[in-house]
Structure 1
């Protein structure tokens, strides 16, 4: 067993009393310091970044990603969307303000929207019922239609033939024409 003194990795002097062990090295408590604020790092929590050590507050303030919603550092779960970082509680629908949680969303002018708000605000409208079209559409008579709304103006059956007649800019099936 060796009685050789423990040497500080910072000042190369022997350490007597309390020893800080970090990064496989030994330090005087006052010499294990944050590279940003230069204060001793108290406790066992610190971050390594660009070859240096940083106390938790300095790392959060200077090196954590910033939330696109509020501008504050993100120290917990980060949502990456639309090319930026968000706190989970700030990644919300541009319409109803509901948290999107990193799941599916639609984008309009750089803002995220839930599918319901996107459909309500931005989707094409059906010429038959005026509701948003979020799935396949029939394009006819210079308009878009839900498949179920493209019906004969006389018998109300779906118009499924490639050719049909038109009366008052409404489809008429071959049987009723």
Structure 2
């Protein structure tokens, strides 16, 4: 009982000697070539495009994206975010923490991603009372923004909840202390 004949995927002729099996097909070694540059692929690793082999050089030149973070070709998993391509390791917070952002929510500013903490520290409005970022509702008064709990009488430190209040040295006074 003889073995079935192997037919080359490229030339459709019988393969008599050395054989390459790849992508579920058989090839003469000289015919296992890059679909773009036509040079035989001799490396152990190769890439695939349209179910055909592609050499590493052509893959980098013709198919790989460029990482927005490091500006190098992306040869492995690509992260798509903010209409850009990234290496998984390059998609990190642009703030001081540099935490990985893959699989998390993030904020965008000027084309760069940020984690929530760094985004708030860098870009959120600051409270005129305590100086910390305002991330929820704010009171707008005296040409500034305030946390609700920070908008308080400068004399008795009671939060001002009434719609009317007095002002002294550009700080709020409750009606009881202004009288």
Report the TM-score, using the length of structure 2 for normalisation: 0.81
C-alpha displacement of 1:57: 4.6
1:166 touches 1:172 (CA, 8 Å); kept in 2?
Answer: yes
C-alpha displacement of 1:51: 5.6
Supply the distance in 2 between the matched residues of 1:134 and 1:161 (Cα, whole angstroms). 23
Structure-to-structure mapping, 1:4-83, within 5 angstroms: 5-42=5-42, 45-50=45-50, 52-83=52-83
Supply the distance in 2 between the matched residues of 1:81 and 1:3 (Cα, whole angstroms). 51
Name the Cα RMSD after superposition. 2.5
Structure-to-structure mapping, 1:13-162, within 5 angstroms: 13-42=13-42, 45-50=45-50, 52-96=52-96, 98-102=98-102, 103-162=104-163
Supply the distance in 2 between the matched residues of 1:4 and 1:78 (Cα, whole angstroms). 41
1:90 touches 1:99 (CA, 8 Å); kept in 2?
Answer: no
- 91 and 168 in structure 1: CA distance in 2 versus 1, 3 angstrom threshold: same
Unaligned runs of 5+ in 2: none
C-alpha displacement of 1:135: 2.4
- 163 and 117 in structure 1: CA distance in 2 versus 1, 3 angstrom threshold: same
Report the TM-score, using the length of structure 1 for normalisation: 0.82
Runs of 4+ that moved beyond 6 A: none
Supply the distance in 1 between the matched residues of 2:84 and 2:37 (Cα, whole angstroms). 28
C-alpha displacement of 1:63: 0.8
2:97 touches 2:118 (CA, 8 Å); kept in 1?
Answer: no
Unaligned runs of 5+ in 1: none
